[in-house]
Amino acid sequence: MNRIIVCMKPVPDPQHWNKVSMDHETQTLKREGIPTIINPLDKHALEAALSIRDAHGGEVLLLSMAPPFVTPTLREGLAMGADRAILLSDPVFAGSDTLATAHILAAGCRWIGEFDLVLCGNMTIDGSTAQVGSQLAELLDLPSVMHVIDLHRKEDHLLRITQKIEHGYVRLEAELPLVISVRKELNKPRYTPFTGILAAESKEINMLSNEELHIDTGLIGLEGSPTKMAGLELRRFKREKERVEGSPEEIVQVLVDKIHRYGII
Amino acid sequence: MDFQFSEREEMLRKAVREFAENEIPPKMEAMEETGDFPTELLKPMAEVGITGIITPTEYGGVGLGYLARTIVLEELGRVCGAMPMALQVHHMGCAVINDFGTDAQKEKYLVPLAKGETMGCVAVTDPTGGSDVVGMKSSAELKGDKYILSGRKCFITNSHTSNYWVVIAKTAEGAKGLSAFIVDKDAPGAKLGRKENKFGLRGANTGELAFDNCEIPKENLLGQEGGGLAVAIKTISETGRTGMAATALGILTAAYEEAGKFANERVLYGKPISALQAIQFYMAEIYTQLEICRLLCYRASWLKDQGMRCDNEGALAKYYTCEAAVNAAKKAIEIHGSYGIMKEYAVQRLLRDAVVTVPSGGTAEIAKVVLARAALAPFKK
Amino acid sequence: MNKNDHDGIWVFAEQRNAELHEVTLELLGKARGLAGQNQGKVTAIILGQGIKPLAQTLLNYGADSVLVADNPVLDPYRLIPYSLVFEKLIKEYHPEILLMGATFMGVELAPRVAARVRTGLSAHCVDLKLDKDGKLLQVVPGWGGGVIATIACPDHRPQMATVMPGTMKPLSPEERKGEIKEIEINLPDKDLGPKVLEIKREKAEGLPLEKAEVVVAGGWGVGSREDWKQVEELAGVLGGAVGTTRPPVDEGWAEEGQMIGQSGKTVRPKLYMGIGISGVMHHVVGMDQSEHIITINSDANAEIFETSDVIVVEDFRKILPKLIQKIRERVER
């Protein structure tokens, strides 16, 4: 395999989510002062890419759509071992939903040109939509597999993949090129080696705007996104403290309904 | 002046923190129980670059220097004080060979140390005392192509986990009569003595070494014969003191964080106790000391990186930070109330660990001797 | 796709081995409710092989009609064939709304279909509503549940959503009539994506405490080894793990490894149930990130109630046996 693209999203560090507040006028979240980290599952995707490269050679590219201030976070991915990074950044990208984001990432992949494999995390911790990987594949007209918990190369252009499903798994054989979204069971991401931090300082982060990508602006950004935000509410993990009263039978009935509503039974 | 960490240093801190928070906690219960250092972590630490942080790249290290080392030790210590304690002594074992070793000695001993394949330490203290270096009894004599070493070394960190020790012994009388040797743990006549049962920094191994006509090949003399005092002093005052200071800084940071978290979680009279002024003053004191100690520790190691003298600054950072860590841990326990003395809570360990940093690598009094000299120097007639 | 001339609510009837996923019935229940507000029709879409008999079940649970694609190429599930079938159906029938379960299958399939027909999709919905113009409002959690967003898809059709299993209620089934229509499938025999080598289903094993979706924890208030068995039994019928505070360990009712809190494990299950637990801080720090918390304690002032979603002030001995029985009946049904 010659080239692997790893989609990486810089996300707000969940350890600081208690600092999130809401701007009620613009109906957006204010996340000032919250540090940015690599989306945790994307590290598993990167680890998978790095171990394939380390065993078979080739190159690992990070691909990210984000504002320019995230470059230190991309640099962390380079320090883990990726060879270079491409940051897709343009004010016209702002407010993109998953489909619009997939259009932008697809344009990034096409700009890169030849590649054999695209790896993504199954979902991000902030939006948690788990949609971009499949949509990117569709827009690139490539096959895709989600929920991947095992992955290895069988032949040069053939992968053996294990996909998790309810109470079990599916084993698949897939030809490259392909888009794969991974779960954390897949591997344990390496720690950033200090030598990698030094090496990353001279690695390239290529910033591309829509001037280079030429995406139809009707497909991207707030305007181009088919889904729109109709309301936003901060719950701040408050507990409901709902007291259930009545006869034991009545209480049991309420509890059973609740447990069912939680999706347990 | 520039008080901002570079992007490189910030990334380094993040990388060590991630390693420390994930890999050390599963080991801590056994460390507390047995007092043993988890040597199985050496390899993963080496992969990250922790074991070889100050060793030049040509000898298998990452060559990032002392400020980087302080950040590394501080972050390890924030999770568990015994880790930087053992590591900083290991770094002393690296520094002493790097500074005084021949090329052959560096190839043979420094490279595996930096790569975490072996562990090392420096053994100075005799049962007669550590601070009175010249008064030591351990002695070595050249016989043919071997030195014959006899004597005991005590309170040696990494004594039982090291593959070789750098031992200081007398080859003649007086300050010019000390010499340094690299002693293999399997050398004939070298024996491990007792393992100490410390009440803090338990996961860092401390113990005795005994030498009974121990045979050391002549080429294992480190530096010049008679140059041992300089070897000991340079290693202790530059690498050892900054390392102890960074260890204590990690403990101090942990005390600050534990105290802050508890003060915000614990509710009394319908409010978190952080709303009480008494608690706020405690927090302000811990915070003040933490900020002072950060500056002291970073400056001492920065000076070392610049190739400037750092012995006074190292002593100052070591003395002040170790005491501050004790104070902060005590206040953190007070903030915790009765919870603070329960084993389930980290603060009791922080206090035990902090207390152990105080005499390690030179007592507060020795530091004050150094500092008094510096303080009075401008007024000397 | 543009929104004119679309109507009807579609539900993807997910099945593996001709067994319907529960979420299908829940989606039908919800779709029925939404259709009732808007006089729309509910259509279930089922793909696979040998699945025709399931069509009547789908009608009984609320579908007005069922589109059945029964073809060997659709068994077992594969992403690309399923996406192609959905594209064809959507382009032919123009549904207003398309719902899928946020299951392993739905989460993979729905975004691919949405991208293929270029429409909007919201993920892991916990509620669905219609606004006054009949637009679908999709309520989704984000940021680990800390943020609730309402999403709409004003200009593209179908409006698509995946829905968290368990958040909607199925209707009680009744014998209903409706149209069952078979669809002709003509898929190319290549470029259908990865080949399925093996599908393995295994009974869910007892999970370790930290990974269990349900944790039932008991405290000092459980009172005796005899009654501790009720705690274990409740965990058992819920397929969960048993947790404990310190005193039951000291009493020998529970093991050290089951302890939750400062000196034990930190759990973050979907459901935590606390039985006879007072709620001292060193326990609470180990469970307060749980998604849902139900607690039962006879002491109305128990601190644990501060960290609870559902509070029962009652002797657990009056509740648990009945609760266990009810749940067992449901699960075995």
| Length of chain B, in residues | 381
Question: How many Cβ contacts (< 8 angstroms) between chains A and C?
Answer: 249
A258·C294 Cβ contact <8 A: yes
Closest CA to B133 of B93, B183, B178: B178
Cα(B220)–Cα(B166) distance, integer angstroms? 9
Question: How distant is the Cα of C210 from the closest Cα of chain A, in angstroms?
Answer: 15
Question: How distant is the Cα of B75 from the closest Cα of chain A, in angstroms?
Answer: 14
Q: Tens digit of pLDDT for each residue in A2-36? A: 899 999 999 998 888 777 787 777 777 777 788 99
Q: In chain A, what residues touch B53 (CB-CB under 8 Å)?
A: 194
Fold of B7-119: Butyryl-Coa Dehydrogenase, subunit A; domain 1 (1.10.540)
Tell me, yes or no, if A222 comes closer than 8 A to chain C by beta carbon. no
Question: If contacts are CB pairs under 8 Å, which of residues 149-208 in chain B contact chain C?
Answer: none
B339·C281 Cβ contact <8 A: yes
pLDDT attached to residue C263? 73
pLDDT attached to residue A238? 67
Q: In chain B, what residues touch A193 (CB-CB under 8 Å)?
A: 15, 47-49
A134·C108 Cβ contact <8 A: yes
Residue A86 placed within a domain: yes
**Contact of C147 with A22, CB cutoff 8 Å:** no
Say how many domains are in chain A.
1
Number of H helices, E strands in chain B: 13, 10
Closest residue to A143, CB basis, from C103, C194, C322 = C194
**Cβ-based neighbours of B75, under 8 Å, separated by 6 or more:** B13, B16, B17, B20, B250
Indicate the residue type of A226: P
Question: If contacts are CB pairs under 8 Å, which of residues 283-312 in chain B contact chain C?
Answer: none
At residue A235, does pLDDT exceed 80? no
Domain C9-182 and domain C209-332 have a common topology: yes
Q: Tens digit of pLDDT for each residue in B286-296? A: 999 999 999 99
Least confident range from A71-80, C182-191, C226-235: namely C182-191
Cα(A105)–Cα(A61) distance, integer angstroms? 13
Cα(B205)–Cα(B25) distance, integer angstroms? 17
Q: In chain A, what residues touch B18 (CB-CB under 8 Å)?
A: 191-192
Q: Tens digit of pLDDT for each residue in C71-107? A: 999 999 999 999 999 999 999 999 999 999 999 999 9
Q: Tens digit of pLDDT for each residue in C142-166? A: 776 678 889 999 999 999 999 988 7
pLDDT attached to residue C207? 65
List of chains touching B (3+ CB pairs within 8 A)? A, C
Average pLDDT for chain A: 92
Residue A263 placed within a domain: no
Residue A260 placed within a domain: no
Q: In chain A, what residues touch C123 (CB-CB under 8 Å)?
A: 98, 128-131
Question: If contacts are CB pairs under 8 Å, which of residues 62-121 in chain A contact chain C?
Answer: 97-99, 102
The CATH number that applies at residue A61 is: 3.40.50.620
Domain boundaries, chain B: 7-119, 121-229, 236-379
For B192-230, give the DSSP string: EEEEP--SSSTTS-EEEEEEEEEEEEGGGEESSTT-HHH
Q: Within a 10 A sphere around the Cβ of A167, how many other Cβ atoms?
A: 11
pTM: 0.87
Cα(C74)–Cα(C15) distance, integer angstroms? 11
pLDDT attached to residue C203? 54
What tokens does C46 get? 């089922």
Phi, psi of C86 (to 5 degrees): -60, -40
Question: If contacts are CB pairs under 8 Å, which of residues 186-245 in chain C contact chain A?
Answer: 193-204, 213-214, 238-239
At residue A187, does pLDDT exceed 80? yes
At residue C232, does pLDDT exceed 60? yes
Tell me, yes or no, if B56 comes closer than 8 A to chain A by beta carbon. no
- Strands C42-48, C9-12: pairing is parallel
C310·A244 Cβ contact <8 A: yes
Q: In chain B, what residues touch A75 (CB-CB under 8 Å)?
A: 7, 11
At residue A236, does pLDDT exceed 60? no
Residue A123 placed within a domain: yes
Which of C108, C132, C190 has the most A C-beta neighbours within 10 Å, making it the best mutation to test the interface with A? C108
Tell me, yes or no, if C152 comes closer than 8 A to chain A by beta carbon. yes
Evaluate the CA torsion angle B338, B341, B343, B347 in order and state its sign.
positive
Which of A16, A104, A134 has the most C C-beta neighbours within 10 Å, making it the best mutation to test the interface with C? A134
CATH number assigned to the domain with residue range C209-332, chosen from the 4 options 3.40.50.1220, 3.40.50.620, 3.40.50.1380, 3.30.70.140: 3.40.50.1220
Provide the pLDDT confidence category of residue C256 given band limits of 50, 70 and 90: confident
Question: If contacts are CB pairs under 8 Å, which of residues 30-89 in chain C contact chain A?
Answer: 76, 79-80, 83
Q: Which residues lie across from A115 on neighbouring strands?
A: none
Residue A212 placed within a domain: yes
Closest residue to A191, CB basis, from B10, B48, B53 = B48
Tell me, yes or no, if B381 comes closer than 8 A to chain C by beta carbon. no
Residue A165 placed within a domain: yes
List of chains touching C (3+ CB pairs within 8 A)? A, B
Provide the pLDDT confidence category of residue C264 given band limits of 50, 70 and 90: confident
C104·A256 Cβ contact <8 A: no
Domain boundaries, chain C: 9-182, 209-332
Closest residue to C198, CB basis, from A17, A125, A171 = A171
CATH number of B236-379: 1.20.140.10
pLDDT attached to residue B150? 97
Residue A201 placed within a domain: yes
Q: In chain A, what residues touch C144 (CB-CB under 8 Å)?
A: 14, 17, 125, 128
Q: What percent of chain B has pLDDT over 70?
A: 99
Q: In chain C, what residues touch B345 (CB-CB under 8 Å)?
A: 262, 282
At residue A1, does pLDDT exceed 70? no
Q: In chain B, what residues touch C282 (CB-CB under 8 Å)?
A: 339, 342, 344-345
At residue C204, does pLDDT exceed 60? no
In chain A, whose CA is at the least distance from the CA of B49?
A194
Indicate the residue type of C105: M
CATH number of C9-182: 3.40.50.620
**Cβ-based neighbours of B277, under 8 Å, separated by 6 or more:** none
Average pLDDT for chain C: 90
Q: In chain B, what residues touch A35 (CB-CB under 8 Å)?
A: none
Which positions of chain B have pLDDT values less than 70? 129-130
Closest CA to B84 of B345, B318, B376: B318
What tokens does B204 get? 């860092």
B274 vs A1, more confident = B274
Question: If contacts are CB pairs under 8 Å, which of residues 31-90 in chain A contact chain B?
Answer: 72, 75-76, 79
Provide the pLDDT confidence category of residue A239 given band limits of 50, 70 and 90: confident
Evaluate the CA torsion angle B3, B4, B8, B13 in order and state its sign.
positive
In chain C, whose CA is at the least distance from the CA of B345?
C262
Tell me, yes or no, if A252 comes closer than 8 A to chain B by beta carbon. no
CATH number assigned to the domain with residue range B121-229, chosen from the 4 options 3.10.580.10, 3.40.50.2000, 3.40.50.261, 2.40.110.10: 2.40.110.10
Question: If contacts are CB pairs under 8 Å, which of residues 301-330 in chain C contact chain A?
Answer: 305-314, 318-319, 322-323, 326-327, 330
